[in-house]
Amino acid sequence: MRRKMNSAAKVIALLFVLMLTTSLFSGRADAASGKKTLVVYFSRTGTTKKAAEQIQKLTGADIVRLKTRKEYPSDYDEMLDIAQEEQDSDARPELATQITGFKKYDTILLGYPIWWGEQPMAINTFLESYDFSGKKIIPFCTSGGSGISASVRSMKKICKTASFGTGLDVTDAGKSRLQKWLQNNGVSLVGASSEVTIKIGKKDVTKQTCSLTKGEKATLKVSVSGWSGEKKITYKSSDKKTVSVTSKGVVKALKTGTAKIKVTVKSGKKSVTAWVKIKVVKENTAEPEQTDETGADTGMPDTNVPDSSRPDTNAPDTDMPGGDKSDADTPAADPDDDKTNTDTPDADSDDDKTSTDTPGGADPDDDKTDKPSEDGSDTDTPSGGAANILVAYFSCTGTTKPLAEYAAEYLNADLYEIRPEVPYTSADLNYSNSSSRATREQNDPQARPAISGRVENMAQYSTVVLAYPIWWGQAPRIISTFLESYDFGGKTIVPFCTSGSSPIGSSASSLHSLTDSSTQWKSGRRFAGGTSRETIIQWLNGEGIKPTN
């Protein structure tokens, strides 16, 4: 009897050890897909470290800090010289960090500061030290204003076997923006619940009652937060004689009354539901549908923004390191930098030796990390019906807006407004002031103003009509942000601009390099403010762009 008890105890002990080992070393896995995520970051002063730890908390991923065998000097100017020498010689600084079990990770959240407009060369060493075949890299950076786009283009050339998600400059990103960025990249969040959103046009009708006129049709657009991969969506009407619904989510009001449409979304073993009530009313008694597809006007005068008629100020490039010592992760920004850099999870404290890092949880000091504050960023769904054409436009003063609306209406296309995260003020658009926001952005080819919200499912569009005003002879820099935020490979882009006199010229051709080589660009055209709907239609027909069914 005693021998049996000992055997049972051994079995229990063995199971406990196995469970503990699995918990400690298996890594963060997505419950639906089994994918594992790893946060890898390089941080000289601790700024990127804080952001990486916040991302680790949100995702529950394993985390590793990269260290170079030879430390960078603490003196700011000395470090800049070395960083530039490394870039000029395309150097590969030797890493003191080695990651064990790298093969098991499917998604790599890669963080770094921006030095001289690019990622530190130690990141290139990392990218060339491991096999990224089949893996997804989601980059994030901290910077004083240079942005992430140039570094992502560089890394894509170095690491051609990996796929890249949408990058983010997290310098001023709040928690909610980080969450939405991660979810848009298909990364699951710790403790996040999946919610179904149902929209008709731009209006959210989830768990609400929406009125339709008898005989009217509407398309339900369904999205699920925090889910990636393939999803199966089914629709069911509680009264098919009152409201019918197709497998594509198209509802039709058949007779007066009310019916509840149940929407079920499945992905693997996961399933979530939501509903919308459709109230069918007689003609001319329906509640008015939301017609404001673009959001509120800025209230600024309806005058065009600056074009090439204004002399070029030839302002210096403010993104050049050395001129901007606020760049987030340049040396000497943190007086405790020598202490911060030794605080790597599970790393060998002896920097003169190669350290082998088994990815684990956050630092013991993680609870001391400064958390970014909440912000109000959101995700935008283009308004309109089901279509394979998107009309995207930026209109700061309202001149470009009506022309974009004409195009979307005629093409039966979806309409999306490119809205800056920080709206432009009249002072920002003071073209006589060389220090105004618009002037500084246009004089900085690397400027990438952040956009509020994203286009849901950009992959569904084969053609994108892109509209913008002319600022100092070029497209506003926020158009570059938009083009670098999505994959336009294989798509057709049809640009047009509004200006007082400047032609579209190089404002369009200079954008070509921001998209994939397989992107087909139309030549584009300039329109004056107040151009008629008929003129827009005539131009679209001439470009071979026809309405969708």
Q: What is the pLDDT of residue 435?
A: 85
Residues 336-353: pLDDT tens digits? 333 333 333 333 333 333
Please give the residue that has the higher pLDDT: either 354 or 263: 263
Residues 446-470: pLDDT tens digits? 899 999 989 988 989 999 999 999 8
Residue 190 burial (C-beta neighbours within 10 Å; 0-12, 13-18, 19+)? exposed
CA 142 from centre of chain = 15
Per the CB < 8 A criterion, the answer to whether 424 and 298 are in contact is yes
Average pLDDT over residues 401-421: 93
Residue 523 has pLDDT above 70, yes or no: yes
Contacts for 352-357: CB closer than 8 Å, 24+ residues apart? 352/69, 353/96, 354/69, 354/96, 354/97, 354/98, 355/67, 355/96, 355/97, 355/98, 356/98, 356/100, 357/64, 357/65, 357/97, 357/98, 357/99, 357/100
Distance CA 524, CA 542 (A): 11
Per the CB < 8 A criterion, the answer to whether 262 and 275 are in contact is yes
Lowest model confidence (mean pLDDT) among 31-35, 231-235, 340-344, 493-497:
340-344
Q: In whole angstroms, how far apart are CA 163 and each of 38, 136, 137? A: 15, 5, 6
> Who's near 24: CB < 8 A, 6+ residues apart?
360
Residue 539 has pLDDT above 50, yes or no: yes
Please give the residue that has the higher pLDDT: either 290 or 14: 14
Per the CB < 8 A criterion, the answer to whether 528 and 498 are in contact is yes
357 band by pLDDT with thresholds 50, 70 and 90: low
Q: In whole angstroms, how far apart are CA 462 and each of 174, 405, 435, 466, 468? A: 33, 19, 39, 13, 20
Domains of the chain: 26-171+328-368 (3.40.50.360), 196-281 (2.60.40.1080), 389-542 (3.40.50.360)
Residue 209 has pLDDT above 60, yes or no: yes
Q: Is the pTM of this model over 0.75?
A: no
Distance CA 178, CA 59 (A): 10
Q: What is the pLDDT of residue 282?
A: 79
Average pLDDT over residues 190-197: 71
Lowest model confidence (mean pLDDT) among 21-25, 138-142, 328-332:
328-332
Backbone angles phi, psi at 260, to 5 degrees: -105, 125
Question: Mean pLDDT for the chain?
Answer: 77
Residue 160 has pLDDT above 80, yes or no: yes
Q: What is the pLDDT of residue 238?
A: 94
Distance CA 172, CA 479 (A): 21
Distance CA 141, CA 154 (A): 14
Beta bridge partners, 380, equal: 455
For 22, the token pair is 């699995």
